[in-house]
A and B are shown apart, each in its own frame.
Chain A
Amino acid sequence: NAGVTQTPKFQVLKTGQSMTLQCAQDMNHNSMYWYRQDPGMGLRLIYYSASEGTTDKGEVPNGYNVSRLNKREFSLRLESAAPSQTSVYFCASSEIWGTDAFFGQGTRLTVV
C-alpha cells in the first residue's frame, strides 16, 4: 500500500538547470496537488489538478509547470531553477470532495 510516492527524495541543482519532480498515487484519487514548504511559511499550493487532463494555478505558480500525465501521475517541472526555489516539495492526492489528503514524503530541493 504505497499511497503517494515522490521521486527523487533529495536533489541539488545549479541555478538555471531544469528538472522534473515525479509523483504517483495508487489510490485512484481524482485530485492531485503540489505544495512547497518553507520555514515559517507553512505549506503553499503551487499547482493542482482536480481531474485527469486539468491543471490550475495555486498560490505560488511562478517558475513552475505541471503535467497530469494520467490519473496516477502528476509531475512538477522547474524550467530554470533559482535559489528562491530551494524548498521541500510535497505532492498530495485526495478525493475531489477533499475528505482528506494523503501526502508523499517530500523532495528536498536545494538550488545553488
Chain B
Amino acid sequence: GEDVEQSLFLSVREGDSSVINCTYTDSSSTYLYWYKQEPGAGLQLLTYIFSNMDMKQDQRLTVLLNKKDKHLSLRIADTQTGDSAIYFCAALGEGSQGNLIFGKGTKLSVKP
C-alpha cells in the first residue's frame, strides 16, 4: 500500500522561506495534499495538487511535484510566526475511496 514519508522537524527564522519535503510510494496517486494543524486544533486543508501538474502556487504557498521521483514539496515564502504548526503531506490511496494516507507530519518552528 501507499506510504508517505516526511522529515519530522524544520526550524526557520521569520521572513525566511520554509521548504517541507515529502515522498510517497504509490505512483498511481492522483491527488496530493498539504494540511496544517495548529496546536490543539483539527486539520486544515492548505492546498492540493493533481498528479498531472508540476507546480501550483497560491499566495505564499508553492507546491512542487516531481512525479518521477515521487517527491512533493511545500514552500512557504516570507514565513511568519503564525505559520508555526505541524504540516501533513497526504496522498490519495488506492481504490479511489477517497481515503487519504498521511505522513507523520513536519513540525515547523518559526523563530522571531
Contacts and interface: CB of A to CB of B under 8 A. Distances in A.
A32 B13 CA distance: 38
Size class of the A contact interface (CB-based, 8 Å): 20 to 34
Interface residues of B, number: 23
Contacts of B44: 103
A100 B95 CA distance: 15
Interface string A28-44: 00110101000011111
A23 to B, nearest CB: 12
B99 A33 contact: yes
Contact of A99 (B35, B41, B43, B48): B48
Interface centre among B41, B97, B104, by most chain A C-beta atoms within 10 angstroms, is: B97
A45 B1 CA distance: 13
A43 B103 CA distance: 8
Contacts of B101: 45
A98 B100 contact: yes
B45 interface: yes
B42 A31 contact: no
Interface centre among A35, A50, A92, A100, by most chain B C-beta atoms within 10 angstroms, is: A100
B33 interface: yes
Interface in B73-112: 88, 92, 96-105
A98 B103 contact: no
A102 B92 contact: no
B104 A41 contact: yes
A97 B98 contact: yes
Interface in A65-112: 90, 92, 94-106
A61 interface: no
A97 B98 CA distance: 5
B98 A42 contact: no
Nearest to B48: A100
19 contacts: A33-B98, A33-B99, A40-B8, A40-B104, A41-B104, A42-B88, A43-B88, A48-B99, A90-B43, A95-B98, A96-B98, A97-B98, A100-B45, A101-B45, A101-B100, A103-B44, A104-B42, A105-B41, A106-B42
